[in-house]
Structure 1
Amino acid sequence: MTLPVLLFAAGFGTRMGALTADRPKPLIPVAGRPLIDRALDLAHDITPPRIVANLHYKAQMLADHLAPQGVITSLEWPEVLETGGGLRQALPLLGDGPVITLNPDVVWAGPNPLAQLLAAWEPARMDALLLCLDPACTVGRTGPDDFTMDACGRLTRGPGVVYGGAQIINPAGLSDIPEKAFSLNLMWDRMIDQGRLFGLRYPGRWCDVGRPEGIALAEGLIADV
C-alpha cells in the first residue's frame, strides 16, 4: 500500500535570515543538495501515486525546480494558508483518502520515515499517525517536547516525544474548520479528544534545519551515516 504525498513548501523561512532573501527555504542546499530534493528522495522511494508541493514564498523558483521532477504544485495566493489550510486546498490534487505529509526542512538519518509510517498505519483506529522521536535522537531542535505517547502509541499533549514532520493523516475533518488559514494542530487536538491521534517512534536520528546553524549540524549527521 502507498499513499499520495504532500510536501509543505510554502513557508517564508524567516528563521533562516539572509539565506532566504534570494530563494525559498526548500532550495537551500545541505551537503550539496537542496532540502526539497532530499525530501523527494524519500517520497519517490515509496512510489506514491502522486507528489504535491504547496507553494507561496518565491513560488516560481520552486515550481521551476519541481516541474521536471513530476511534482504537482498547489499555489497559495495571495496569502499563505498554513499547514491545515494548505492541505485542504491541495486535496483535489491529492485524491480521496489519507495523505502523507512531509516537512522538507529536516534531515533523517535511518530508514525511510515514510515507509515506517506506511507499515504502521491502521486507519480503523487512527485518524493520524505522526512520526516522533525521543528528544535524545534529535539534533538542532530547541523548545519543549510535543507529545506524550502511551504504551499503545496514542498521543496527548505533554512531554515525552518530538514530532518529526512526517505523518499520515485522514483529511476528512478539514471541511468542518471555518478558518481559511489554520494549523493542523486544530485537527490533532480534535483527534486527541477522540483518542484517534497516534505516534510512531522513529528508530534513527533527525536534524531540524530551520535555522542557519542547522545546516552544519545536518551535514554532520549525513557524514556520520
Structure 2
Amino acid sequence: MTNDPRVPLLLLPGTACDERVFAPLVERLSGYPVLIGEMSGARTMPELAEAVLGTAPRFFHLAGFSLGGICALEMVAQQPSRIATLMLIDTTARTDPPANAVVRHRAVEQARKRGMESYIQDAWPRLVAPTNVENSTLRETIVSMARSCGVERLHAQTEVAINRYDSRPRLAAITQSTLVLAGACEQVCPLEAQQEVADGIPDAELHLIEGAGHFAPLENPDAVAGHVARWLAAHPGAQS
C-alpha cells in the first residue's frame, strides 16, 4: 500500500466493533488502500481523535461508523487540512444527553455481570432492520466483535461517547466533500440526526440504505460499498 498513488481511506469502527464491521466494504473496494483506526486508549472524544490522528497518514479520506463517525467529526475539527473527504455512516453530530450516561453505565455493568453477548442481545431489535432480526449469521458477527472488544474496552469507549462535544455548531465550517449514509431503519442514531448532519455541512450528500438499520455496512454492504466506491472515484483528492 505504501507504493499506491491513491489517497488512503481510514476507517473508524463503532463501539464494540473492529475491522470486521468494514470487512464486506473493504472486499468490495477491490484493493483500494485502506487502514483501520484504533478506537481505544482515551477517555474523551478529543483525546481519542488526537490519538487516531497521531497514527494516521499525512493525508487521507476519512470514514467513520457510529462512534467512529463522531470521532471523525472531532478529527476534522482538530486537523482539517489532513482530511481529503469525509464519509459518515450511521452516526450523529449531537452531544450525548446527560441522562444517557446512566443508561450507558448500566449497560456496561450488565455486560460485566452477564457477558458481552448481553450488550448486543439486549439491544438487538434496535440495531438492525426488522428484516434482519432473525439473521443469525449477522448477529453472530456482531456478537463476536463485542466479545473481542471486552468489557474494559467497552467501558473506555462508553466514557468517550459520553465525553464528546456537540459538533452541530461546527458543521458549517467543514469544507471537505461529505457523504452521509444511514440505514433506512436506523434507530440508534435517528434519521433526523442524519438529516441534521447533511443539512449542516455545505453540499453534503445523504443516502439512506434500504434493508438496513444501524449496522448498514454489514446489513447491506453492496449499497454501502457502491456509494463509497463512487465517492472515492469522484473525489480522488491530492496525491500522497
Fold match by TM threshold 0.5: no
* Between structures 1 and 2, the one with greater strand share: 1
TM-score by length of 1: 0.35
* Between structures 1 and 2, the one with greater helix share: 2
